[in-house]
Structure 1
Amino acid sequence: MRKTKTKELTLLAILTSLTIVLGFFGRIPTPTGVTTLLDVGIYFTAFYFGKEHGVVVGGVAAFLFDLLAGYPQWMVISLLAHGGQGYLAGLSGKKHLLGFLLGTIFMVAVYFIASSLMYGMGAATAEVLTNTMQNVVGVIGGYLLCATFGKIRGEKSDES
């Protein structure tokens, strides 16, 4: 039992670290923060490993990214926004597309509310498009990584 928990914690730590690296690799400053490739790692984790892993990697990676990138005011907000996004994106089977859509809406809504309180409605509205595009790029990249990883491991593709 202990060996399994150690393996799972190690996997989560590696996925979280790789997701943070993706965030730094494709970082674009915006008026209220930053747009990143963090979502690629979150969606890959959620699609491949499920909602439990998605919530942990999404929340912890976003929290630590904000700390390391110099956006401490966003840390707790990102933990909530990306944790929820990872959880919802990890829905499986016929709920898979619904999970992506709900994850995107949840993440964009959390950041919209936080930005409107911190910077006003104008800044919050401007961020809706960049946050939505960040999710679209994230889901495409995450799906491609998931499909590629599955082929490397010799698994059948999930067409749901």
Structure 2
Amino acid sequence: MSQKQYRKITTIRLTVTGVLMAMNIALSSFGIPVPGGRLYLCDVVISLAAILLNPFEAFVVGGVGSFLGDLLFYPAPMFVSLVTHGLQAAVISVFSHKILKSKPILASGIGVTIGAVIMVIGYTLGKIYVYSTFEYAMVKLPYEIAQGAIGAIFGMLLCWKCGIHKLFDTMINRKTDLFA
């Protein structure tokens, strides 16, 4: 692989990571009003990014993106978001790229399921710590489960049914250098 091709792939991956992180920050800034709070859609982007990107890039999109979104709009749980969404994204990415390589859709499905569980447990424990009440965390638990499920389902649909995975692979694995 020539130096130009390596640089081009790195630039594309960096750009895709930045765009997905910006989408995560944007979706962290507003939510759907539900009784007792809001339902955020950032998990859709986190799941999608984690299926497409390597574990480090997925952690940046999920963890750092959520951290920055919380820092800008609601700073109390920003460290909980960094750890929980970062771990969620890294686990999804590891499953999507390292486990069951011959069945990528199944591997991604297992990954997003485990990622949703990580998100629900992480935020439940984080809310107990941040707000110092077990009861508050239990009131929010059904919304955390809904957020995790919506993120997993829509992330999988966008990736596999809408063709984003195929487009991403074509972009990244293209052998010709357009600028050569």
Q: TM-score, normalised by structure 2?
A: 0.73
Aligned to 1:113: 125
State the SS of the aligned residue for 2:163. helix
Aligned to 1:14: 19
Aligned to 1:59: 63
Structure 2 gap segments, 5+ residues each: 101-106, 170-180
Deviation at 1:30, TM superposition (A): 6.7
Cα separation, partners in 2 of 1:98 and 1:141, compared to 1, 3 Å? closer
Equivalent residue in structure 2 for 1:23, among 18, 22, 28: 28
Tell me whether 111-120 or 73-82 shows the greater mean CA deviation: 111-120
| Aligned equivalents of 2:155, 2:69: Cα separation in 1 | 18
Once the two structures are superposed, the pairs formed by residues 120-159 of structure 1 within 5 Å of their partners are 120-147=133-160, 148-150=162-164, 153=167
State the SS of the aligned residue for 1:72. coil
State the SS of the aligned residue for 1:28. strand
Larger-Rg structure: 2
Q: TM-score, normalised by structure 1?
A: 0.80
Cα separation, partners in 2 of 1:34 and 1:67, compared to 1, 3 Å? farther
| Aligned equivalents of 1:103, 1:128: Cα separation in 2 | 16
Residue identity over aligned pairs, in percent, reads 30
Tell me whether 93-102 or 14-23 shows the greater mean CA deviation: 93-102
> 1:34-79, CA deviations, whole angstroms, 9 ceiling, x for partnerless residues?
430000000011122243332210001111111222x111111100
Cα separation, partners in 2 of 1:30 and 1:89, compared to 1, 3 Å? farther
Number of residue pairs the alignment of both structures matches: 154
Is 1:103 equivalent to 2:78 in the alignment? no
Structure 1 gap segments, 5+ residues each: 156-160
Equivalent residue in structure 1 for 2:83, among 80, 90, 99: 80
